[in-house]
């Protein structure tokens, strides 16, 4: 990632550029996890309010039908969030492939003269 995003940065500015890249990645990951968690919880709550408590209760009381219902609600939330994450990943890969135009950089080596 750094090889693609930092090729034209002067050496004296490469440290700050690398720090900005790392900060942007960390913020992006935090926001992504927050959004996907919100989607998962929203879908689960829509399917069965308080599904996690229902799952624990059904397991404690050995109620197979309630256990299946709670498990289905939780699985639906996780599946929806992961499906959206997959779509976002594919879209990001496509955008990256179209936007980034970084070819191989020519290495200039100077022969040592005696």
Contact 73, 48 (CB under 8 A): yes
Q: Which residue has the tokens 């709670």?
A: 70
**Count of residues for the chain?**
114
Work out the pLDDT band at 23, boundaries 50, 70, 90. very high
Nearby residues of 105 by Cβ (< 8 Å), 6 or more positions away: 7
Q: Which helix (H) or strand (E) holds 36?
A: helix 14-47
The pLDDT assigned to 110 comes to 52
In percent, the amount of the chain with pLDDT more than 70 equals 82
Integer Cα distance of 44 and 54 in angstroms: 12
pLDDT tens sequence across 46-78: 998 988 888 888 889 998 998 899 999 999 999
């Amino acid at each position: 990632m750094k090889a693609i995003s930092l090729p034209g940065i002067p050496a004296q500015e490469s440290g700050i550029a690398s720090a900005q890249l790392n900060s942007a990645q960390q913020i992006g990951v935090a926001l992504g996890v927050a959004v996907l968690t919100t989607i998962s919880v929203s879908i689960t709550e829509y399917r069965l309010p308080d599904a996690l408590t229902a799952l624990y209760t059904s397991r404690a009381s050995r109620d197979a039908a309630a256990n299946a219902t709670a498990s289905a609600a939780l699985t639906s939330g996780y599946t929806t969030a992961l499906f959206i994450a997959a779509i976002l990943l594919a879209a990001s890969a496509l955008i990256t492939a179209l936007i980034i135009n970084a070819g191989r950089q020519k290495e200039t080596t100077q022969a040592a003269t005696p």
